[in-house]
Structure 1
Amino acid sequence: MTKLLLLLGALILSSVGYVRSDASDHRYKEGDIVPLYANKVGPFHNPSETYRYFDLPFCVPEGVKEKKEALGEVLNGDRLVSAPYKLNFREEKDSEVYCKKKLSKEEVRKFRQAVEKDYYFQMYYDDLPIWGFIGKVDKEIKSDPSEYKYFLYKHIEFEILYNNDRVIEISARMDPHSLCFITLLKPFLHYHSQTIFIFMLALVGVFYPYNRGALFTALVVIYALTSGIAGYTSASFYCQLEGKSWVRNLLLTGCLFCGPLLLTFCFLNTVAITYTATAALPFGTIVVIVLIWTLVTSPLLVLGGIAGKNSKAEFQAPCRTTKYPREIPPLPWYRSAVPQMAMAGFLPFSAIYIELYYIFASVWGHRIYTIYSILFIVFIILIIVTAFITVALTYFQLAAEDHQWWWRSFLCGGSTGLFIYAYCLYYYYARSDMSGFMQTSFFFGYMACICYGFFLMLGTVGFRAALFFVRHIYRSIKCE
């Protein structure tokens, strides 16, 4: 088993190691061409609603070349093309005119709409990101929108810092006086192991803050390579309970999370295509993901299921049991499922509440999250608190002579996922400025999938902890 885990770790590191940025290794001589790519534009407050850079009527240079993106970059919505500006290494340039263009009424309308929605652009110079706004709205304390003045930035000043033969920083500033125009069970061991591998890669520095798409690539690769764990644990536990339809159980295991995720993706990708946004995945990328699922995830899931079925493990009850269930006495309302789920979910959620804001600001905003060590500690606290609160509620349930604790422990453990989704509502309306159908659907759609994953993972944590606890206490007694 140890050799298998080491082999799995080596495969994961080799598969995602290439995504680590090597920008720090780029060295240049004076006058060398440094790659500058234009990435995307979009509303600042709707980070999921992004479009190709030249979807706005900028001056299009001759021979625009598209950069071939990695899988993670495509999933992140990156669409890099060669930028029109030439910034050679350590060469000073002053007030160069790139092009002159007379805007048509339709082009003016597009720019006006972009400025009104606080559009920003993103570029990469030697893999270092550059952000800037397209323009600004001058309201001048006027309440009538028809009297607002719209400014389009027509001049960009790049400031590049060097350290000998390397680029270490770049920033872009806009000229504010520019052209003016008026007119957004298997679950536990599978997702838990995936999460642990992600944290391991983060802690060793694989996820360079400006490394485009590294996290998405790692998620896809690790999910595929750890699917065998899901098949093994699911099939072995099912056979311990003397289940006969292990093939159907394996199919359910494979579709339990991926099914809802696929339906959500199909809907949201259709929305992105309608908006012609860069969040819409190209057909080739979809084919790659389907091939990964077909050639890697599914075979490993089946192999793990076969190994689990043949593990010959039997479910050992800690004491003598009876075939006739004992009658459950009437219980007060606060001992029912919903109040206990509320109690079980609140405490673990309160342990991660503060960190959630920074994660949301990074995933659904423009902040850069780098403190993975703190996030790992918070994750461990979440697991421990979930296990302890579920064990406590299971004890009170058994003390009240209610023996139906299996599903209750799973629901209580997973209820934290419901609290996280409730926090999504609060964050959207109170802490963010996201708007529009596309950004709203992306936010609530993908967060529903993430919270569902948390529900499955933490639910299994609660069940496993309760099962361990019940085995321990009943092992000490002589009767059922």
Structure 2
Amino acid sequence: MIKAVAALLLAGVSLVLCGRAFEPGAPVKLYANKVGPFSNPSETYQYYDLPFCRPEGGLEHKPETLGEVVDGNRLIMTPYDLSFRKDKADAKLCTKTLTKSEVMQFRKAVSDDFYFQMYYDNLPIWGFIGKLEKEVSASGGESKLKHYVFTHVHYDIAYNGNRIVEINVSTDPAQMLDVSEDVVTGDVPVEATFTYSVQWRETDIPYEKRMDKYRRYQFLPQHLEIHWFSIINSCVTVLLLTGFLATILMRVLKNDFIKYTRDDDVLDETEESGWKNIHGEVFRFPPSKNLFCAFVGSGFQLLALSIFIFGLACVGVFYPYNRGGLYTALIVLYALTAGIAGYVAGSYYKQMDGRAWVRNILLTSVTFCGPLFVVFCINNTVAISYRSTAALPFGTIVIILLIWALITIPLTIAGGIVGKNTRTEFKATCRTNKYPREIPELPWYRHAVPQMIMAGFLPFSAIYIELYYIFASMWGHKVYTIYSILFIVFIILLIVTAFITVALTYFQLAVEDHRWWWRSFLCGGSTGFFIYGYCLYYYFFRSDMSGTMQSAFFFLYNGTVCLAFFLMLGTVGWRSSLSFVRHIYSAIKSD
């Protein structure tokens, strides 16, 4: 099924790359997508929520995919005549008589720095609705805010043979409508004439490279070079620190093995101390093992989902401005990988002698989907109150719920049943004592929270630089295209998380604290808390976002992303610690 998804997405890529061929004078539709405040990328509205010139035959919506709707796209055909290789000079679009409410709509849009987005032959273009200026009186007195709406739009289109390669849009500052409060007063209607012009030019840019322009706009060459240098510097630093810790840990373990494995009759058993002394406790199953196994199962699913997404990204599926491609892949692949969560959770729960396996499957099904659904309900309600395109239509919600009910839940149940019926036993290298051993009193820095802070800092430092570019893409108008860098950083994140968790697990066992199961999971997943801390920093110090809707979308959806990191990295940390514990206790003699 995953191959089918990849083939479907690649078919979409090939459709764009092959494109359409047009004859001279052939009509080419220009679709308006959305408008909204430039600083609030989630707060988007339909283009014709503003009183622009509408098509005579009524609004014609372009059919959209699931991912496009989730992304807030609402493509509507515009009345602009941009026929292939047909120039126009000062063509009249329409003359409108704006009422007071329509003038106020334009005025508010200009005040909020509204931009518009359109698509022409699947090529995106942007422009601003108008501009806000401060006008100082001739006497040098108090300045006034002037609101201007652009009434003329110029389209510059490049073609190669019979295919469209590039399009740019610009506005004419000489043709603006003043909708300032001091100009438009009372209920007197305002007449506005909207015009446009089109100029075609031939280019030698091949059609297959027409999307390269958008890649170049995201990172200038000098910025890309700095980007690579910063990532390499960060990764080298983290790997050096990891290497030093690994060397120290291996030397300490070597000394421990020598001490614990020598056959010395003079050595009295009462002199033993350290991690060997708790060999009868380390494989005691954790408390709340139902929840623990649900977390681990969800973590494995999210890890598999991440790998599949990176695979699609590296083969070029998510090209710049592939509307909704990433969201479609996330929804479909999450549903298809649900069986992994069910199988892993059910298998480990069975190995831990769990009995309430039905509860385990249900808990696994809602471990991540539950919080995500609550966040979606809140954000969608806020978006509906704003009448934003970010609010999903009822039909789309039904489709997503059907995917969850007919694919995700059944696959989770099937995976859980297979995992439950798989005859595997937990591989414990030491026999567990009947009664738990008393844990010695430990200093404050050996407790869970300080350990989580130490565990999360090093992996976070490995991805800190890359986070800015990711946030600028997710919560800005940049498009992330350098997936090779991101994949390298992701692999380093997993390696560093695994090692730092193993190191902290060893230090915990060395002081005879055998409660490492949940601790290793929390330490591995603690990077998610650091990422959410970066969310706060980015919102208040690196962005201009504001408003209830944008804040709700930013903090709540980022919270679910950080939850996904917590589950995924926590699973990596725990599984690495489990392998480490099995290894060291299998290398010593214990009664």
TM range (shorter): over 0.9
Cα deviation 1:261-294 (Å, max 9, x = unaligned): 1011011101000000000000000011011111
Give the match for residue 65 of structure 2. 70
Cα deviation 1:292-320 (Å, max 9, x = unaligned): 11111111111111111111110121122
Q: Of the candidates 148, 151, 160, which is equivalent to residue 151 of structure 1?
A: 148
SS at match of 2:453: helix
1:107 maps onto 2:92 in alignment: no
**Does structure 1 retain, via aligned residues, the 8 Å contact 2:136–2:143?**
no
Shift, 1:211, TM fit: 1.0
Give the match for residue 29 of structure 1. 23
Q: Of the candidates 68, 74, 85, which is equivalent to residue 90 of structure 1?
A: 85
Structure 2 unaligned residues grouped into runs of 5+ = 182-295
Q: Of the candidates 392, 408, 426, which is equivalent to residue 315 of structure 1?
A: 426
Give the match for residue 550 of structure 2. 439
Q: Distance in 2 between matches of 1:361 and 1:144?
A: 40
TM-score by length of 1: 0.96
**Does structure 1 retain, via aligned residues, the 8 Å contact 2:2–2:336?**
no
Q: Of the candidates 509, 514, 532, which is equivalent to residue 421 of structure 1?
A: 532
**Bigger shift: residues 429-438 or 58-67:** 58-67
**Bigger shift: residues 304-313 or 136-145:** 136-145
SS at match of 2:96: coil
Shift, 1:28, TM fit: 1.3
**Seq. identity, %:** 62
Shift, 1:102, TM fit: 2.0
Shift, 1:17, TM fit: 3.7
1:168 maps onto 2:161 in alignment: no
Letter in 1 for 2:411: L
SS at match of 1:211: coil
Shift, 1:16, TM fit: 3.6
The equivalences for 1:1-400 within 5 A come to 8-20=1-13, 22-25=15-18, 26-63=20-57, 64-140=59-135, 147-177=144-174, 178-183=176-181, 185-400=296-511
Give the match for residue 5 of structure 1. none
SS at match of 2:442: coil
**Bigger shift: residues 160-169 or 126-135:** 160-169
SS at match of 1:123: strand
Letter in 2 for 1:344: A
Q: 1:228 to 1:85 in 2, by over 3 A?
A: same
Shift, 1:165, TM fit: 1.4
**Does structure 1 retain, via aligned residues, the 8 Å contact 2:135–2:143?**
no
**Does structure 2 retain, via aligned residues, the 8 Å contact 1:21–1:208?**
no
Shift, 1:141, TM fit: 7.2
**Does structure 2 retain, via aligned residues, the 8 Å contact 1:232–1:308?**
yes
SS at match of 2:148: strand
SS at match of 2:85: coil
Q: Distance in 2 between matches of 1:409 and 1:157?
A: 60
SS at match of 1:403: coil
Cα deviation 1:24-71 (Å, max 9, x = unaligned): 322112111112100110000000000000000111121221111100
Q: 1:346 to 1:100 in 2, by over 3 A?
A: same
Structure 1 unaligned residues grouped into runs of 5+ = 1-7
Q: Distance in 1 between matches of 2:121 and 2:464?
A: 37
Q: Distance in 1 between matches of 2:105 and 2:131?
A: 14
Cα deviation 1:330-364 (Å, max 9, x = unaligned): 11111111111001001100100011000100011
SS at match of 1:87: coil
Q: Distance in 1 between matches of 2:2 and 2:108?
A: 49
Q: Distance in 1 between matches of 2:142 and 2:30?
A: 37
Q: 1:251 to 1:19 in 2, by over 3 A?
A: farther
Shift, 1:187, TM fit: 2.2
**Does structure 1 retain, via aligned residues, the 8 Å contact 2:106–2:179?**
no
**Does structure 2 retain, via aligned residues, the 8 Å contact 1:156–1:175?**
yes
Q: Distance in 1 between matches of 2:112 and 2:143?
A: 15
Moved over 4 A (4+): 140-146
Cα deviation 1:424-469 (Å, max 9, x = unaligned): 0000000100011000001001000110111111111110011010
Letter in 1 for 2:390: A
Q: Distance in 1 between matches of 2:17 and 2:589?
A: 66
Letter in 2 for 1:160: I
Cα deviation 1:193-219 (Å, max 9, x = unaligned): 111110111111111212100000000
Shift, 1:139, TM fit: 2.0
Letter in 2 for 1:48: S
1:455 maps onto 2:453 in alignment: no
Q: Distance in 2 between matches of 1:286 and 1:19?
A: 24
Q: 1:21 to 1:176 in 2, by over 3 A?
A: farther
Q: Distance in 2 between matches of 1:69 and 1:462?
A: 40
Tell me the matched-pair count.
Answer: 472
TM-score by length of 2: 0.78
Letter in 2 for 1:392: A
Cα deviation 1:383-434 (Å, max 9, x = unaligned): 0000000000001001111110101000000100000000000000001000
Q: Distance in 2 between matches of 1:259 and 1:103?
A: 47
**Does structure 2 retain, via aligned residues, the 8 Å contact 1:268–1:441?**
yes
Q: Distance in 1 between matches of 2:8 and 2:578?
A: 36
Give the match for residue 204 of structure 2. none
Q: Distance in 1 between matches of 2:527 and 2:25?
A: 56
Letter in 1 for 2:147: Y
SS at match of 1:281: coil
SS at match of 1:101: strand
Cα deviation 1:162-189 (Å, max 9, x = unaligned): 1111111111001112122212x11222
Shift, 1:12, TM fit: 2.9
**Does structure 1 retain, via aligned residues, the 8 Å contact 2:297–2:341?**
yes
SS at match of 1:395: helix
Letter in 1 for 2:15: D
Shift, 1:10, TM fit: 1.7
Bigger Rg, which one: 2
Letter in 1 for 2:413: V
SS at match of 2:405: helix
**Does structure 2 retain, via aligned residues, the 8 Å contact 1:39–1:122?**
yes
